[in-house]
Structure 1
Amino acid sequence: MIARLKGLVDSVDEDFAVIDVGGVGYLVHASARTLRRLGAAGTGVALEIETRIREDAFELFGFIDRGERDWFRLLTTVQGVGARVGLAILSVIEPGQLTAVIASKDQKTLTAADGVGPKLAARIVNELSGKVGSLSLGGTGGVTVADVSPAKGGAATDAAAAAGRVAEDAVSALVNLGYKRAEAFTAVMAVRGRLGEGVSLDALIPAALRELSTQ
């Protein structure tokens, strides 16, 4: 199994690149994000590789960093998300934003990827929302899904539940102002990380707006 390739960019096409490793050209499928960062022909590059073997094909999928590779692996655990759809999602949503998209149940953003309709977007959100609790939200200082999701089995305290409702109300208010749900969620979590879970709604919304204005 090939886990990593280090060589020179031979050529870049719409959805794949050829990487020259010691005179052997490897065709590597990749997201638009990775392809944009490869550079011109002759540029040195190192790619994380996911090898997929089928009866009729031996395919390599390349990623500019491990975060993108890990998300590819996670996305393709969802029924209906094959390798091509996984790359399509990663082409339109940065890996650092995917946790926020899923945690905030932002199905609309997921449907921006080729091959992802409303039903598949809902399935992705439902199946992965419980699997990303340990992943940090990009730009939120390590805030995770677990910080806004009540513990199962009634273990969440009244204070935590109230804080969760305040955060959700703030996100909804920002969405009503025209912001995307994922970016609103990320801004609210960033502010909560700084001001604490007990921050009031009146303080949370303007602080989140200031956070969004700096992005």
Structure 2
Amino acid sequence: MIAKLKGILDSAGEDWLIIDVGGVGYIAHGSSRTLGSMPRAGEAVGIHIETVVREDAITLYAFADIEERDLFRLLTSVQGVGAKVALAILSALSPTDLQNAIAAQDKTAVSRAKGVGPKVATRIVTELKDKVTGLIFKPKGVQVSQAAASDQNMGGNAALADAVSALVNLGYKPVDAHGAVARAMNDLGEDASVDALVPAALKELSIL
């Protein structure tokens, strides 16, 4: 199985790229987020790979970071969600936004992705609610580009994590705490402070 590739970017298209590794060109498909973070053709590049083996094909999928790859694996574990749909979701939502949407059971956000209907979106947020908890507190890796780094709201992420931690310390389950804080942040905005998020999340939990 191929898990990672380092080489020279040969070319790229709307949903694919080719990496030259020692004279061998590997084609891999990726989200718009991953492809948008790639350097110009002829420059060095390194990407994480998920290899999918089927009876009639071996297909490579490229990811800028492990977090996106892990979410791809989770998404494709849901019935009715293939690789193409998973990449569409990862193109529409950043890993952080997707985790928050699942934790908050926000099927509307997930259904914004191309090819994702209400039924599939509902299945995704329902089946993955407990599974995204293990990804929430993973440290962020080094961003692949300055543009990608600017897209990350680090203040909001820190406040969310601190608010979730506070609720867990009060005895709430991590998945319930994260869902409540995510819903509170949707209402209050990404710039909400921990002091504002905690009471709002507690209110969310009280009406569940």
Residues 1-215 of structure 1: pairs in structure 2 closer than 5 A: 1-136=1-136, 139-141=156-158, 142-143=161-162, 171=184, 183-184=186-187, 187=190, 191-192=193-194, 194=195, 197=198, 199=199
Q: CA 1:9/1:129 → structure 2, altered by over 3 Å: closer, same or farther? A: same
Question: What CA distance in whole angstroms lies between the structure 1 residues aligned with 2:125 and 2:80?
Answer: 13
Q: CA shift at 1:144, angstroms?
A: 7.9
Q: CA shift at 1:183, angstroms?
A: 4.0
Q: CA 1:45/1:103 → structure 2, altered by over 3 Å: closer, same or farther? A: same
> Structure 2 counterpart of 1:35, which letter?
L
Question: What CA distance in whole angstroms lies between the structure 2 residues aligned with 1:134 and 1:78?
Answer: 17
Misfit runs of 4+, over 3 Å:
143-149, 182-188, 194-197
Gaps of 5+ in 1: 172-181, 205-215
Q: CA 1:66/1:123 → structure 2, altered by over 3 Å: closer, same or farther? A: same
> Structure 1 counterpart of 2:29, which letter?
H
Question: What CA distance in whole angstroms lies between the structure 2 residues aligned with 1:167 and 1:68?
Answer: 22
Deviation string 1:165-190 (CA, Å, 9 cap, x unpaired) is: x969x84xxxxxxxxxx7447748x6
Question: What CA distance in whole angstroms lies between the structure 2 residues aligned with 1:200 and 1:114?
Answer: 32
Question: What TM-score, normalized to structure 2?
Answer: 0.73
Question: What CA distance in whole angstroms lies between the structure 2 residues aligned with 1:146 and 1:80?
Answer: 34
> Structure 2 counterpart of 1:140, which letter?
N
The 3-state SS of whatever aligns with 2:78 is: coil
| Count of residue pairs brought into register by the alignment | 179
The 3-state SS of whatever aligns with 1:135 is: helix
Which structure has the bigger radius of gyration? Answer: 1
Question: What CA distance in whole angstroms lies between the structure 1 residues aligned with 2:7 and 2:95?
Answer: 24
Question: What CA distance in whole angstroms lies between the structure 1 residues aligned with 2:134 and 2:163?
Answer: 6
Matched with 2:141 is none
Question: What CA distance in whole angstroms lies between the structure 2 residues aligned with 1:23 and 1:185?
Answer: 52
Q: Percent same amino acid at aligned positions? A: 45
The 3-state SS of whatever aligns with 1:18 is: strand
Matched with 1:178 is none
Matched with 2:147 is none
Question: What CA distance in whole angstroms lies between the structure 1 residues aligned with 2:181 and 2:48?
Answer: 37
Q: CA shift at 1:107, angstroms?
A: 1.1
Q: CA shift at 1:88, angstroms?
A: 0.7
Q: CA 1:92/1:28 → structure 2, altered by over 3 Å: closer, same or farther? A: same
Question: What TM-score, normalized to structure 1?
Answer: 0.71
Cα-Cα RMSD: 3.4
> Structure 2 counterpart of 1:95, which letter?
P
Deviation string 1:24-71 (CA, Å, 9 cap, x unpaired) is: 110101101111111211011101000001110010001011111111
Question: What CA distance in whole angstroms lies between the structure 1 residues aligned with 2:119 and 2:64?
Answer: 29
